[in-house]
Structure formats: structure tokens, C-alpha cells
Amino acid sequence: QVQLVESGGGLVQAGGSLRLSCTASGRTFRLYTKAWFRQAPGKEREFVAAISWTGGVTFYADSVKGRFTISRSNAEDAVYLQMNSVNSEDTAVYYCAATQDGVSRNMGQYKYWGQGTQVTVSS
């Protein structure tokens, strides 16, 4: 079964840091663009960050720019999201996704998705 598996979510205090990981299972995504999206309670899923398959191009939502960093390891077929200076608005389920297309914020371009990991920021 082809899947992406997220981990690293949990409870973090406002102003703290958390690192999310996403690994591949069932096939390789080493040559795929990878991204993180999130969905807060009662809201639509939104783009967070994306990274090209080489790692040379990254793209962030304005709301996380300067606080979050996306990175990847093709050797481990993994993508990471370092979250710093988190606040209550970062509380959401975080999903990783993969596409054969280029870096994009368009959710519809991502064919493969993980099940999500919950991040809760406490004040």
C-alpha cells in the first residue's frame, strides 16, 4: 500500500518548537515535490510549505514564513517541517503530500497524501 506517514506532532507551548517528519512507504517519492498542508478545526485545508525534489526550491505560506522551515532527505525519502515560534493559529492537523509536478500551493496537484499528525499549541 502506497502511503506517506507523518510523525512528530503533539502538544507544544506557544513560542516553542516542534519538528514534523514524513516518510514514504510502499514506493519511493525521492523524485517528487513534497509539501506540508494543515487543517484547523472548522477551516479548510491550507498550504504551509513545499520543496522541490532537489531541495533547491522552497515555497512558504506568508503565515509561516520566517518561522517554519521545510527540508528533505532523499536518502531517507523523507520530508521535514521545523516549526519555531509557534502560536495558537498553528494548531491544526498537518498533512504531507507529494506530486510529480513542480512546487505549488495548489492542493489539487498533490496526488499522494498522508493521514495527518495533530499539532496543538497551548497558551
What's the pLDDT tens digit per position in 23-44?
998 889 999 999 999 999 999 9
Task: Report whether pLDDT(11) > 90.
Answer: yes
* Long-range Cβ contacts of 50-56 (<8 Å, 24+ apart): 50/103, 50/104, 50/105, 51/79, 51/103, 52/102, 52/103
Secondary structure element (H or E) that encloses residue 35, with its range: strand 33-39
3 pLDDT above the threshold of 90: no
pLDDT in tens, 58-90: 999 999 999 999 999 999 999 999 999 999 999
Strands of the sheet with 18-25, listed across from one edge: 3-7, 18-25, 78-83, 68-73
DSSP string, 58-106: EEE-TTTTTTEEEEEETTTTEEEEEE-S--GGG-EEEEEEEESS-S---
Mean pLDDT of 102-113: 96
Predicted local distance difference test score (pLDDT) of residue 23: 97
